[in-house]
A and B are shown apart, each in its own frame.
Chain A
Amino acid sequence: DQQVKQNSPSLSVQEGRISILNCDYTNSMFDYFLWYKKYPAEGPTFLISISSIKDKNEDGRFTVFLNKSAKHLSLHIVPSQPGDSAVYFCAAHGDSGNTPLVFGKGTRLSVIA
């Protein structure tokens, strides 16, 4: 049973528009949520995180929103740029340090110029 779900395998957005990537989770013990970005033939790179005590975290063009009651989070990228084209993974872990991350299957974002 998947604990972290990304239900959209792919998303296509025009350059300059907003990209919204969604993620749902089932485990109420998750305390931290992270987004990773992955280019082909490279490892995932950390993008942004949010803890369960917050509902929003912003870093430049990237904002993550958390709705804890709905067990839902989303990553907003605005404005989207062609270089944002990659696979985005949602991940989560509990409150203890060094626990393994539980990943979703990823969403492939294509930003069209």
Chain B
Amino acid sequence: GAGVSQSPSNKVTEKGKDVELRCDPISGHTALYWYRQSLGQGLEFLIYFQGNSAPDKSGLPSDRFSAERTGGSVSTLTIQRTQQEDSAVYLCASSWLAGAGYNEQFFGPGTRLTVL
């Protein structure tokens, strides 16, 4: 049983370039989340998908950030015109659809993004 996978594991880019980060959730998990962890900070919520729709985009820090999910599976987080403050570890998580109860999310290993 494969867990959540993310690619690339590391990405170094120049300021102003666009980057795409990919997440493959656990098969059958309908909910998918993106978080990021900047140096010395906790995990900051970015966006959440239920199926292919995104009920909560409230954490996206600016309009340079966007995400999509196709086929209820793979998700891509795109950052346009990257800035140095975008440097962080971007973590993806997935979980089963649940009406109530605690929401155990399963995390991928993350993508470490460095913007020079």
Contact = CB atoms under 8 A, between A and B. Distances in A.
B95 A98 contact: yes
Nearest to A94: B103
Contacts of A85: none
Contacts of B100: 95-97
Contacts, number: 74
B95 A32 contact: no
A102 B56 CA distance: 14
B97 A44 contact: no
A89 B43 contact: yes
Contacts of A91: 43
Given A34-B102, A97-B97, A101-B43, A43 B56 contact: no
Interface centre among A34, A91, A101, A103 (most CB of B within 10 A): A101
A100 B33 contact: yes
A43 B97 contact: no
**Which DSSP category, helix, strand, loop or mixed, fits chain B's interface?**
loop
Contacts of B31: 98
Contact of B110 (A43, A51, A106): A43
Interface in A3-43: 4, 6, 32, 34, 36, 41-43
Interface residues of A, number: 28
Contacts of A98: 31, 48, 50, 95, 97-98, 103
A41 B108 CA distance: 10
Given A89-B43, A97-B97, A32 B106 contact: no
B72 to A, nearest CB: 14
A42 B91 CA distance: 10
Contacts of A105: 40-42
B40 to A, nearest CB: 7
